Amino acid sequence: MDLYDASYDIQCPSCKTTKYRNPHLKLMVNVCGHALCESCVKLYFIKESGQCPECEIVLKRSKFRFQVFEDPMVEKEIDIRRRVMKVYNKQEDDFERPDDWNNYIEEIENIVLDLVNDVNRSEIEKKLESYEKLHKDEIRRNLSKRSREEEELERLMEEERLVGEERAKKIQEELEKQRLSKERTKTTLLQDLLASEGDASLIVKSHADKLKEEQQILEEEMAAKSRLPAKATEFSSGIKIGFGRGKNANQKIIQKGTLYSYKAPDLPTVLQSPSWGNLDSDGFLGHVRKSSPQAMAGGYTEHYACLRALQEFMWGHILTPR
């Protein structure tokens, strides 16, 4: 049996230590995307900042984090995308036309692509800096808007969590009631069997019937609770129920024109399927796959499949006479 683990191939680019020799090896990445093991980070970044051994970019030790993805370039793209999206933080609702939103997204992707591949990095950094200065108020406003939306989402999630906990608590209480009821029934049955001199089978049957009756009552109560609808406070559109109830709420609606009256449609009572000879002329075979030469050699044509499908359709749509 091959017990080789592919994770043993993980290697620190600097000290060349592998996970095979050091099972506790953990790689860390920074904004440049070049990985280093935890020991090399402590060695190269004794002070708060230092240069990356590969690209010589000045990095901060506090910005290092453990590598999650196998490819360090993915980690680099995530960092860059997170930083760019903090500056370019508009939403689709902020644009009047879809084309403007698409151009905005395309600009973000081009910036991320250039920074990931280190293409015109200095120019892109200057572009980000100038954009942030020009749209400082708008960026701050969008951040506060997003934070409010996140707070509302967290509030809804907290409410759902509390409702789930309350539901689980009630279920646990019902289960505990059932367990205690079964224990009491068992104790009562044993006491009756010990105290009575009658037929034991009749006593057991009496207790079984009583237990069945109690179980049925309990099931009916739980079913009634589950059928009880929650009191709605708003419509699906978000408008509160009762909105607009004022002194004019009970006024009659003025009808314009004649009232609508229902008129039953004149439908045929029997639907007739086309004949074998009319399938091709009436166009029914236009969307049916042609038979292969092997099938036709056995006497099969596409007429069989088409006619059978039409007949099954007619059988399901036969209208009863009024």
pLDDT-above-90 percentage for the chain: 0
Note the pTM of the prediction, 2 decimals: 0.38
With a cut of 70, say whether residue 246 has pLDDT above it.
no
| Burial of 30 per CB tally in 10 Å (0-12, 13-18, 19+) | buried
Edge-to-edge strands of the sheet including 65-66?
Answer: 36-37, 27-29, 65-66
Q: Please say whether the beta carbons of 59 and 49 come within 8 A.
A: yes
DSSP 8-state secondary structure symbol assigned to residue 231: P
For residue 268, what pLDDT is reported? 61
| Burial of 257 per CB tally in 10 Å (0-12, 13-18, 19+) | exposed
If DSSP states are collapsed to H, E and C, what string results for 91-156?
CHHHCCCHHHHHHHHHHHHHHHHHHHCCCCHHHHHHHHHHHHHHCHHHHHHHHHHHHHHHHHHHHH
pLDDT per residue over 132-162, tens digit each? Answer: 888 888 888 887 777 676 777 778 888 888 8
Report the chain's mean pLDDT, rounded to a whole number. 76
pLDDT per residue over 71-106, tens digit each? Answer: 777 777 888 888 888 888 888 888 888 888 889 889
For residue 322, what pLDDT is reported? 41
In whole angstroms, what is the distance from residue 263 CA to residue 321 CA?
A: 17
* Residue 227 pLDDT grade (very low, low, confident, very high; cuts 50, 70, 90): low
* Residue 249 pLDDT grade (very low, low, confident, very high; cuts 50, 70, 90): very low
Quick one: fold of 7-67?
Answer: Herpes Virus-1 (3.30.40)
Domain ranges of the chain: 7-67, 141-222
In whole angstroms, what is the distance from residue 1 CA to residue 20 CA?
A: 18
**Residue range 209-216: average pLDDT?**
77
